[in-house]
Structure 1
Amino acid sequence: MSFKALFVAAAACAMFATTSCSEKTQENAEATAESAASDAATTTENAADATANAAGEVKADMAPEAGDTAVVVNKEADKLVEEAPKQ
């Protein structure tokens, strides 16, 4: 379940609880909202960790290795870029 869906569900429950439910139901709704917020925070933190790990893996994969001979020039191309013939 996405963060937005959890947040919307928790907000809807909290709003409903404050307008037409008993005190016990309201307490349950508040606990649900807090739990949803906690779950969302954990999910966000896990996603940030996964992104950092993926970035580290890409950096490691892109590290030069023995025998690499490619030279990259950082300039804009205004024409078709052609591959060099394979040897």
Structure 2
Amino acid sequence: MSSIIDFQSAADRAAAHAKAFVHMEGDVCDLERMAHIALAQIQDCSVPDDDHGCRELELAVFAVAQLTIMAKAFRKNYEAAYRGQEWPE
């Protein structure tokens, strides 16, 4: 009994990659914006010695944590799309 492996054609691979990149645009923009917020918040933080400093630190920690979540989801979705699976909405 022989087994034949079907490989994607170059056109099919290109179409899958094009679709993945189209779906990535919004996520890439969101990821970049969150990174910008995280950077700005971290740069403005110092050792909190007042309520304002504590608030700035809280915002920085939140932004960096959210950026981590978004980046992990982005990578997971991109890798799924790269394998030809549907991009989750």
Question: Structure 2 length as normaliser, TM-score?
Answer: 0.50
Aligned to 1:55: 82
> How large is the RMSD of aligned CA atoms in angstroms?
2.2
Q: Which structure features the higher share of helix residues?
A: 2
In structure 1, stretches of 5+ residues that fail to align are 59-87
Q: How many residue pairs end up in the alignment?
A: 54
Give the secondary-structure state (helix, strand or coil) at the position aligned to 1:47: helix
Q: TM-score, normalised by structure 1?
A: 0.51
Q: Which SS does the other structure have where 2:38 is aligned?
A: helix
Partner residue of 2:39? 8
Taking the aligned partners of 1:53 and 1:7, their CA distance within structure 2 comes to 27
- Shift of residue 40 of structure 1? 0.7
Q: Distance in 2 between matches of 1:34 and 1:4?
A: 12
CA distance in 1, matches of 2:35, 2:54: 22
Report the structure number with the largest CA radius of gyration.
1
In structure 2, runs of 5+ residues without a counterpart are: 1-29
Structure 1 residue runs of 4 or more that deviate by more than 6 Å after TM superposition: none
The alignment partner of 2:45 has SS state of helix
Aligned counterpart for 1:37 among listed residues 59, 64, 67: 64
Highest relative contact order (Cα 8 Å, sep 6+), 1 or 2?
2
Render the CA deviation track for 1:2-40: whole Å, top value 9, x for unaligned: 24312221123314xx4xx86101110110010011111
Residue in structure 2 matched with residue 25 of structure 1 by the alignment:
52
Q: Percent identity?
A: 7
Answer whether contact 1:6 1:40 (CA < 8 A) is retained: no
How far does the alpha carbon of each residue in 1:60-82 deviate from its partner, in whole angstroms, 9 at most, with x for none?
A: xxxxxxxxxxxxxxxxxxxxxxx
